[in-house]
Structure 1
Amino acid sequence: MALLPLPTSPFLPLAAVTTGLDYMEIVTHAGPVVMGVLCLLIFASVVSWAIIFKKWLHLRRAQDQSVKFLETFWQSKRLDAIYQAAESLSSSPISQVFRAGYVELSKVTASQKKDSDDAMSEQLGGIENVERALKRAAAAEVTHLEATVPFLGTTASAAPFVGLFGTVWGIMRAFNDIYQMGNANLATVAKPISEALIATAFGLAAAIPAVVAYNYFVSRIRVLDSEMTNFSNDFLNIVRRHFFS
C-alpha cells in the first residue's frame, strides 16, 4: 500500500523564517535608502546620549553649587566676601546672577559718591540698573542651561517619522521584489518586511530616551530659572534696604 504524501502546510515557511532570520544581516544588507535612514537614526541616537550625559552632569553641578552659594549668601554679612566665594562656584547660575548684580551695584554706588546733587533720581536709576543687570544675567544663564537641549526635542519628535519613512520605503521595495519574483510566500516576504520594520524600531529607540531626557531637563531648568528669579527679588530687597533707603 503506497503512502500518501503529507500536504504541504502554509505555516511551515513561517517557522523556518522566524528561526532563521539574522537581524544583523538584515541591517547590513538593507537597501541604500533604508541604510541611510538607519545611519541617520544611529547618529541622532549617539549624539542624544552624549548630550544627555553631558547635560545631566552640567545641571547636577549647577544645582549643587547653587545650594552651596545660597548657604554662603545667607550666612555671610559682607557682599564682597560673597563675591569672592562666588568666583569658585562658577557653575552655579545663581552665583553668576549675583556677580552681575554686585558689579552693577558697585558701579552705581561709586557714581553716587562722585555726584550727589540729585540723590533721588540717582537712587531710582541705580535700582533699575541693578535690576536690569540681574535680568540680563538670568536670561544669559537660562540660555546657557538650555544649550543643546533643543536637539533632544527635535530627535524625540522627528526620529519616529524618519523611521516610519524608512519602513514605508522598505515595504514598497518588498512589494516590488514580490512582484518581480511572482512569489508571495512567507520566505520571500519576511526578510524585506523585517528590513522595513527595523527602521521603525531604530526610530523609536532614538526617540524614547530623547523625549524622556528632554522633559526631565526642561523641568530642571525651569526650577533653576525660578530660583534665579527668587534670588534676584531677594537681592533687590537687600539692595533697597541697605543702599537706597
Structure 2
Amino acid sequence: MQFTIAEIWEHTGLFARMIIFALGAMSIASLVVMAERMLVYRKSRSESRDFAARMGAILAKDDLDAAANTRPDKNVGHLGRVINSGLTAYRVSSSSKDVAVESVARALERQAQREVQSLKRGLGVLATVGSTAPFVGLLGTTMGIVNAFNLMAAAGSGGLGTISSGIAEALITTAFGLLVAIPAVMAYNFLQGWVDARSVDISESSNEFLDMVARHFGGSHS
C-alpha cells in the first residue's frame, strides 16, 4: 500500500469516513461564515464611514436640531444606526436636561448592544468548529487504532507492517481535524478583534454625541 490520499481513502472504514464527512461539513460551515462576515463587515464599515462624514459636518456646527430632522438613510452602517437612535431619542425628549440626556444615553446603549450582537452573529460557529474539530478527528483516530489492533489480533501476527495501514487511516482523521480547526480559530480571532475594535468606536462616538447633547441642553438653559 502506498500512503497516498487515494490509497488511504480506499482502505478507510465506514466510521472514519463518517468522521471525515462530518469534518468536511464543519469546514464548509466555517468557510461560509468567514465569507459572509467579511462581506458584512466590509459593507458596514463603508456605510459607517459615509454616515460619519455626512453627519459629522452637521454635528460639527453643534446643530442637533438639524441633525435630528435629517431624514436617515437606510444603509448607514453600525455607527449610523447607533447615532440615529440617539437622535430619535433626542427628538422626542422633554425639555428637562437630565431626563433628555438619560433618555438619549439609554437609547445609545440599547442600540450599541444590538449592533455588537449583530456583528458577532456567526462567530459562535467558528469558535465551535475551532474547538471541537481536533477532538472529532481524534475520535476517528482512536477508533481507527482500535480497529487496527483488532485486525492484528484476528490475524494472529504482530509487527508494524501488519497494522501500518490501519494506523495511517486512523491518523489521517486527526490531520484533517487540525486542517479544519486551524483556519477556523485564526478567522475567529481576527473577526472577534474586528468586532471589539468596532465596539470601541461605537462607545467613543456615543459618548461624544452624549456630551454634545448635554452641552446643547446646558447652553439652551444658560
Return the TM-score normalized by structure 1: 0.81
Deviation at 1:188, TM superposition (A): 3.0
- 1:89 aligns with 75
The answer to whether structure 1 residue 170 and structure 2 residue 151 are counterparts is: no
What is the rounded CA distance, in whole Å, between the counterparts of 2:181 and 2:144 in structure 1? 20
Instruction: Give 2:84's aligned residue.
Output: 99
Q: Report whether the alignment pairs 1:54 with 2:36.
A: yes
Counterpart in the other structure of 2:5: 23
Moved beyond 6 Å, runs of 4+: none
**How far did residue 36 of structure 1 move?**
1.9
Larger radius of gyration: 1
Alignment of 1:1-245 (within 5 A): 17=1, 20-27=2-9, 29-76=11-58, 77=61, 79=64, 80=66, 84=70, 86-90=72-76, 92-108=77-93, 111-112=94-95, 122-245=96-219
What percentage of aligned pairs have identical amino acids? 33
Query: How many Å apart are 1:86 and its aligned residue?
Result: 4.5
Matches of 2:86 and 2:10, distance apart in 1: 58
Whether the aligned pair in 1 keeps the contact of 2:68 and 2:90 (CA below 8 Å) is no
**For 1:179, what is the secondary structure of its paired residue?**
helix
The CA distance in 2 between the partners of 1:221 and 1:25, in whole Å, is 44
* Cα contact 1:48–1:152 (8 A) shared by 2: yes
Give yes or no for contact 1:48–1:210 (8 Å, CA) kept in 2: yes
* Contact residue 72 and residue 82 of structure 1 kept, 8 A: no
Q: Quote the RMSD (CA, aligned, Å).
A: 2.0
| Residue of structure 2 in register with 1:13 after alignment | none
Distance, in Å, in 1 between the alignment partners of 2:192 and 2:133 is 19
| Inter-partner Cα distance in structure 1 for 2:150 and 2:69 | 71
One-letter code of the match for 1:198? I
Aligned to 1:14: none
Deviation at 1:93, TM superposition (A): 0.8
Shift of 1:24: 2.6
- 1:4 — aligned with what? none
Q: Which runs of 5+ in 1 are unaligned?
A: 1-16, 113-121
TM-score by length of 2: 0.89
Question: Which amino acid in the other structure matches residue 89 of structure 1?
Answer: N
**Ranges in structure 2 where 5+ consecutive residues have no aligned partner:** none
User: Offset of 1:194 from its aligned partner?
Assistant: 1.2
